[in-house]
């Protein structure tokens, strides 16, 4: 079955540091890939997405590139802010599924210190 | 444009009881999915509804059920509650079945005593 593996957290960085959160996936079909962010007490917000190989998703300074050859979708940001502190989830939706089921990684907590 | 609305936000129940959670999707969205979030198991898919029909189901026992109404609003029901059902239940909506991305509500926090 489909699966998503993320690096375990917490990841603690100083403000303006470079961020990488690793994500690799296993899927039988041709998945779409997503990064969601969850702030305390809230639901999930879509951060960015990519629907095919070599696509780059970007939003709010965050980027991730769909790498089919390495089955990866690593999240990066050049300069993090305290307000980026949250839990980040990598997810996939398998086109073969024909539905909307998302398979999530375990989440990575990011803590940014001033 | 209003987002996905889940009610109630918090709920406390005791073992053996049953509970109903409600989700109102974004206006015009017809697909509703439910997820359970726990510290141990993470985010797990429960089921998806489209046009009042369950289209997909995750690996949960039959105590977990749901339905969707003609206005696309959805409810999920959990019967004979167990301590392990304590979780954040998230609802997500999208325009149609198979169309991403999904937009999530803030969830219902269910605590079982």
pLDDT digits (tens, 9 = 90+) for A54-91: 999 999 999 999 999 999 999 999 999 999 999 999 99
First to last CA, chain A: 41
- Percent of chain A exceeding pLDDT 70 equals 96
Q: How confident is the model at residue A28 (pLDDT cuts 50, 70, 90)?
A: confident
CA distance B69 to B82: 27
CA distance B89 to B21: 8
Given a cut of 70, whether residue A96 has pLDDT beyond it is: no
For B89, the closest chain A residue by CA position comes to A43
Pairing of β B19-24 and β A32-38: unpaired
Chain A hits for B107, Cβ within 8 Å? 42-43
pLDDT at B99: 73
Q: How confident is the model at residue B102 (pLDDT cuts 50, 70, 90)?
A: confident
**Does A102 sit within 8 Å of B102, measured CB to CB?**
yes
Q: How confident is the model at residue A98 (pLDDT cuts 50, 70, 90)?
A: low
DSSP-assigned states of every residue in B34-79: EEEEETTTEEEEEEEEETTEEEEE-S--TTEEEEE-TTS-EEEEE-
CA distance A83 to B61: 39
pLDDT at A95: 66
Given a cut of 90, whether residue B65 has pLDDT beyond it is: yes
- Looking at CA atoms only, how far is residue A62 from chain B in angstroms? 17
Residues B47-56, mean pLDDT to the nearest whole number: 92
Q: What is the DSSP letter of B27?
A: T
Given a cut of 60, whether residue B4 has pLDDT beyond it is: yes
Question: Measured at the alpha carbon of residue B66, what is the angle toward residues B64 and B67, in degrees to the nearest 5?
Answer: 165
**Does A107 sit within 8 Å of B43, measured CB to CB?**
yes
Residues B6-30, mean pLDDT to the nearest whole number: 96
Q: What is the DSSP letter of A64?
A: E
* Contact residues for B89 (Cβ-Cβ < 8 A; gap 6+): B6, B21, B34, B35, B36, B37, B46, B76, B107, B108, B110
For residues B112 and B11, the answer to whether their CB atoms sit within 8 Å is no
Q: How confident is the model at residue B38 (pLDDT cuts 50, 70, 90)?
A: very high
- Nearest neighbour of B94 by CB, restricted to A34, A100, A103: A100
What is the three-class DSSP state of B109? strand
Q: How confident is the model at residue B22 (pLDDT cuts 50, 70, 90)?
A: very high
pLDDT at B101: 80
Q: Is any Cβ of chain A less than 8 angstroms from the Cβ of B47?
A: no
Q: Which residue has the tokens 């999915």?
A: B33
* Contact residues for B64 (Cβ-Cβ < 8 A; gap 6+): B46, B47, B76, B77, B78
Length of chain A: 114
CA distance B63 to A106: 25
For A43, the closest chain B residue by CA position comes to B106
Residues A43-47, mean pLDDT to the nearest whole number: 94
**Does A100 sit within 8 Å of B105, measured CB to CB?**
no
């Amino acid at each position: 079955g489909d699966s998503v593996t993320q690096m375990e957290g917490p990841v603690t960085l100083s403000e303006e540091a470079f961020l990488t959160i690793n994500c690799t996936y296993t899927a039988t079909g041709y998945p779409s890939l997503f990064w969601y962010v969850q702030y305390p007490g809230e639901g999930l917000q879509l951060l960015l997405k990519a629907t095919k190989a070599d696509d780059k998703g970007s939003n709010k300074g965050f980027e991730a590139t769909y790498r089919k050859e390495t089955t990866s979708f690593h999240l990066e940001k050049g300069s993090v802010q305290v307000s980026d502190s949250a839990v980040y989830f990598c997810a996939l939706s398998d086109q073969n599924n024909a539905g909307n089921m998302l398979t999530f990684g375990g989440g990575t907590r990011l803590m940014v210190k001033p | 444009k209003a987002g996905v609305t889940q009610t109630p936000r918090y709920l406390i129940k005791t073992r053996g009881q049953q509970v109903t959670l409600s989700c109102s999707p974004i206006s015009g969205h017809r697909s509703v999915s439910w997820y359970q979030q726990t510290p141990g198991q993470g985010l797990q898919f429960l089921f998806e509804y489209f046009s009042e029909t369950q289209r997909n189901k995750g690996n949960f026992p039959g105590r977990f059920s749901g339905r969707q109404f003609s206005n696309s609003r959805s409810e999920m029901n959990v019967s004979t509650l167990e301590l392990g059902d304590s979780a954040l239940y998230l609802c997500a909506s999208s325009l149609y079945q198979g169309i991403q991305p999904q937009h999530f509500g803030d969830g219902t926090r269910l605590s079982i005593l």
